[in-house]
Structure 1
Amino acid sequence: MNSVSIFRPASQSLRNTSGIYLDHHSTTPVDQRVAEVVMRAMVEDFGNANSIDHTYGEAGRHLIERASFHVAQLVNCDDADVHFTSGSTEAIRLAIAHAVGVADGRPLRIGLSRVEHPAVLDTAARAERLGLARLIWIDVGTDAQLDMASLQEALKDGIDLLCIMAANNEVGTIYPLSEIFGLAEAGGALMLVDATQAAGRVPIDLAETPVEYLILSSHKIYGPKGVGALISSTYDASQVHGLAATHDATPNVPGIAGMGEACRLMAEEGLTDNRRTAEMRDTLQSMLIAKLPELVVNASQANRLPHSLHISIPGVPNDLVVQRLRGRVAVSTGAACMSGAQSASHVLQAMGLSQEIQNGALRIGLGRFTTQDDITLAAAEIEAAIIDVKSALKGSSDD
């Protein structure tokens, strides 16, 4: 089947009538090579993977097995440990519900950092409301890095399940998983790691750091939406608490096949692309600071995701800047899960940043298809938007 013509060439910039796309934390475009795998699974290898009485079903089952292999290769685990889900949110719910299900009957003591993704926070909070869990909070510093003293104190008091993300989805801070896992293991705690933003961008080796639950999402790594994975060697659907009831469903073969291909490409090309993206990110940061010396870079500049740039312009409301960039440059004021609700960022609050810094925060995420020309143009557009807002605010105050 000749379907290549309907897809964007892999080398082409993501620049169209909607502007330059720099919101890769929210979602990534589907890679052409992934899209072709998905298309074939939809129109050629369309068999139901649960119907293995004929070759059509066997073909679907084979696609799932191949995808499991590529997902496992990305994080160095056994294929059998890969459990596909509808996304990272479902995977998180299943992981926490499984931990509740295998507990000894008392409320599960869940330790979590104050900057975890809302999918983790909301599921843990629901378990607590139902009397199934007790939450233990771990503080972070101004760079969103864990307060290790707070972590050690929490582990000393007793934690059954420790939830720490591999990298923060808002400010990009990377967490020292190996060190944290060692502390959790010594303290007798299981560990859940949300690697949604980190997969393919931060080395994750489950042979060296065998956390009990690892969470992945396809659409953050140039795969299709609506598919993710819970990776666990201990997970058993029959032990999942009703907090997240499961049922046998027809597998999303096209989505799963696409996620497998996305993982294969991240494993093969991620290191090179990460270096390229980080260099462009640093260039964009330098260009903005040169024109806007008051700009503040949030979180650790030495320990962040390669595609991540989180900045603030004190005194310049971020929503007004984003409004002026609409149709020119796509950036965000915070996590996509909070879109539409102009609420404060729990991440920036936990970091203890001033209200002025929080109000001026912009999250910028580069990606595989971002070009140097995109960066040059985006820097000029962002600068112009900020200057425009500052001028409008000054004019309003002078009236």
Structure 2
Amino acid sequence: MNEHISLNLHATAPLQAALYLDHHATTPVDPRVADVAIRMMVEEFGNANGVENTHGERAASAVAQAKDRLAQLLGAEPRDVYFTSGSTEAIQLAISHSIGIHRDQLRIAISRVEHKAVIDTALHAERLGMAAISWIDVDDKAQIDLSSLRSVLDGGIDLVCVMAANNEVGTIYPIAEIVRKASEYGADVLIDATQAIGRMPLDLEELGAAYVILSGHKVYGPKGVGALISPVFEYASIFGLQGAHHPTPNVSGIVAFGFACELMAREGEAESHRLAQLRDQLQERLKSLVPGLIVNGPQTERLPHNLHVSAPGAPNDVVLSRLRGKVSISTGSACNTGAQEPSHVLRAMRLPDPYIDSCLRIGLGRTTTAADVERAAVEIAEAINDVRSSFSGVLDV
């Protein structure tokens, strides 16, 4: 039976692999990074907390080297690097710590386009009576409204939460200016740099933010590892029981994350330049193939690998169903998958409903080629135009 199945499988003509253009949701692990992770699991498998033997010492040394690599990429101090299971845990630790070091209810300011991990954590703290939220408005490009920020700061704020770059429309934020304004009011700043590291300049020592959030699987590292970088963080000060006993470090994930950051330090600038050119080619090709295509977000200050478009008249869920097995893109943040609700980012930008209902997020990556861009443009355009034609026919009836 198994032999028969095997023969049938070999007899089937291989299908063309689907293009992966959803690098904002996650990135494939770079094979060089995977090699490091496997070596740490199979050969250097010591417990980094167990430094009474050579295996543990080598594991602890490898973790320390990973801290150095993150610090070098971001202009931080290695002692300020705390590894976590990902960005979400790092965000929760940072906000819990800020709650713990303030005597009164924490006053948090959050832009309306922050990642759900930040918003949901702050809302949970507010429901528990530990925090009070003030909202910072954005414009139609998802850029921070600085007058709204000033107004919020005037009301009294302890912690400002803002992204370095938006995970949906790619907007890059003036984080240095935001940190400077917040510090004038005595407020700390949490920077979610998950999408930004290696793709835009970041010098954390110069920036002066209290908390910076990172995740491995956005930079061709493994899932399940991230980091909080903070010069003010102490486990003993967080609101909760974390830190009572240090967990066993995820050595293989941490070391792989560190090496992924080293690769971004060496290759990120050239990669970003290449991807920005490919993104622009894809944008122009799609605009030529899809009548009335709208590009959302800013045209200049945006992530180099980001393209966010709308095609009014083509519901995005139907377009994605036509692209299944051909091109992998998304309608927005992976955290909203299955939510069946419009993007809070696009709502905050006050985009018209036809734009929101037809939005598509495209994220290019390290292995994306010019041929991939051409193929993706044709496939996406055909799907949009086909859906428009189908819906137009229904409406005509």
State the SS of the aligned residue for 2:206.
Answer: coil
**What is the aligned length?**
384
Cα 1:188–1:309 change in 2 (3 A) is: same
User: What corresponds to 1:4 in structure 2?
Assistant: none
Distance in 2 between the 1:382 and 1:350 partners? 26
Tell me the residue number matched to 1:34: 33
Match of 1:49 in 2: 48
After superposition, what is the alpha-carbon deviation per residue over 1:146-189, rounded to whole angstroms, capped at 9, x for unaligned?
00000011111111000011000111000001111110111110
SS for the counterpart of 2:91 is: helix
2:170 and 2:372 mapped to 1: Cα distance? 21
Q: Point out the more displaced range, 15-24 or 167-176.
A: 15-24
Q: CA deviation at 1:344?
A: 1.1
The 1-side partners of 2:245 and 2:292 are apart by 54
CA-CA distance at 1:398 after TM superposition: 3.0
- Rounded Cα–Cα distance in structure 2 between residues aligned with 1:345 and 1:136: 20
Residue 76 (str. 1) matches residue 75 (str. 2): yes
For 1:247 and 1:393, the matched residues in 2 are separated by: 58
Answer whether contact 2:235 2:242 (CA < 8 A) is retained. no
Counterpart position of 2:130: 132
What fraction of aligned residue pairs are identical, expressed as a percent?
Answer: 54
Name 1:359's counterpart in structure 2.
357
The correspondence for 2:347, drawn from 343, 346, 349, is 349
The equivalent residue for 2:260 is 262
Q: Which secondary structure state, in structure 2, belongs to the residue aligned with residue 154 of structure 1?
A: helix
Distance in 2 of aligned mates of 1:77 and 1:343:
38
- Residues 322-352 of structure 1: CA deviation (Å, up to 9, x unaligned): 1100100000011001112211110000000
Check conservation: 2:313, 2:391, Cα contact below 8 A: no
Report if aligned partners of 1:310, 1:364 keep a CA contact under 8 Å in 2.
yes
What's 2:180 paired with? Answer: 182
Gaps of 5+ in 1: 1-14
- Give 2:194's match in structure 1, choosing from 190, 193, 196: 196
Equivalent residue of 1:163, what SS?
strand
Query: Separation in 1 of the partners of 2:117 and 2:242?
Result: 13
- State the one-letter code of the partner of 2:81: V
In the TM superposition, what is the alpha-carbon distance from 1:293 to its structure 2 partner? 3.1
Q: Which runs of 5+ in 2 are unaligned?
A: 1-13
SS in 2 for 1:207: helix
TM-score of the two chains, using structure 2 as the length reference? 0.95
**1:283 match:** 281
Cα distance in structure 2, aligned partners of 1:394 and 1:99: 53
1:318 to 316, 319, 343: 316
Distance in 2, matches of 1:249 and 1:16, equals: 44
Q: What is the identity, as a one-letter code, of the residue corresponding to 2:350?
A: G
User: What is the distance in 1 between the residues matched to 2:175 and 2:304?
Assistant: 17
Q: What is the Cα deviation at residue 316 of structure 1?
A: 1.1
8 Å contact kept, 1:93–1:244? no
Cα deviations by residue, 1:233-267 (Å, 9 ceiling, x for unpaired): 11101111028776421100000001000100001
Equivalent position SS for 1:164: strand
Classify 1:331/1:16 alpha carbon distance in 2 versus 1 (closer, same or farther; 3 Å): farther
Instruction: Assess if the C-alpha contact under 8 Å between 1:21 and 1:331 holds in 2.
Output: yes
Q: How does 1:319-398 map to 2 (within 5 A)?
A: 319-398=317-396
Q: Partner residue of 1:228?
A: 226
Q: Post-superposition shift, 1:115?
A: 0.4
Aligned partner letter, 2:362: I
What aligned pairs does 1:2-41 form with structure 2 within 5 A after superposition?
17-41=16-40
Query: How far is the alpha carbon of 1:397 from its aligned partner?
Result: 2.2
* 1:95 equivalent in alignment to 2:94: yes
Cα offset for 1:291?
Answer: 1.4
State the 1:59 CA deviation.
1.0
Alpha-carbon RMSD: 1.3
Output one character per residue of 1:14-57: Cα deviation in whole Å (capped at 9) or x when no partner: x9855000000000000011001101000000001111111010
Distance in 2, matches of 1:41 and 1:16, equals: 35
Match of 1:273 in 2: 271
Q: Taking structure 1 as the reference length, what is the TM-score of the superposition?
A: 0.94
